[in-house]
Amino acid sequence: MTHDAAWRRWLPALLGLLFAAALAGLWVVQGWRGAHLVHAACMILAWAGMLPAGAIVARWWKVTPGQDFPARRDNPLWWNWHRALQYGGMAVATLGLVAVLAQTGGRFDGAHALLGAAAMLAGWGQVIGAQLRGTKGGPTDPRADPADPATWRGDHFDMTRRRRLFEALHKTGGWLTLALAAAALATGAALAGAPDWLVVLLGVAWLVALFAVLDLVRRGRHVDTYVAIWGPNLRSDRLPPGRAP
């Protein structure tokens, strides 16, 4: 992997962190008032922008438009953008959390604070839990010999109990986390007496995400991860007897 390729893979996270760094500078200059502005801006960017986009990419962009599927499989675009958007989004959200806690002394009072804390805990739980997804396996695994199915063993390729449990928790937990965040954003806007333009901005952001999801569903863009990586005809349970990992 070239240096340029690595830079491109993390572009969404880099842009989000650059924006967050600019906001942190505003916090330093304006003190208390700036801290609350940093908190609001970071949470909107993370929870109404980067993190929903990362979830949408993971769900509906495993096969991209124009990709010659199933001749071309295992397109890494969705994985790179999902990882960059989720890691970057949680980093931006954490800056927003630190900014407000620095001014409130770490208190969590009221519905907004409790919902926000729950969303942050769940979000970081998703990041940490993703490290427990297990091994990949399959003929394209770097440790495998494509000509020898006996070397293809992996949690994902074999769909082990560990992998099935991970997928159930990670996918369900991700959408529930976004629901918590949406409630936290709404209560935060009400608590701050947000101006009409901010409420409209939040509404537009979530509506754009909703319409994008509905359009992707209508076009049947969802492809199962297993199929997107290895194609519709290869599964560990279909290998010749005695050769399965």
Domain residues of the chain, as ranges?
A: 11-145+153-238
pLDDT at 29: 53
Contact indicator for 72, 153 with CB cutoff of 8 Å: no
pLDDT at 207: 84
Q: Locate tokens 């199929």: which residue?
A: 227
What is the rounded distance in angstroms from the CA atom of residue 44 to the CA atom of residue 205?
Answer: 9
pLDDT at 232: 85
DSSP secondary structure letter of residue 50: I
pLDDT at 243: 41
pLDDT at 23: 65
Residues 6+ apart with CB under 8 A from 210: none
Name residues of the chain where pLDDT drops below 50.
Answer: 1-4, 240-245
pLDDT at 234: 77
pLDDT at 51: 95
State how far the alpha carbon of 210 is from the alpha carbons of 7, 52, 213, in Å: 30, 10, 5
pLDDT at 38: 84
Just give the CATH number of 11-145+153-238.
1.20.120.1770
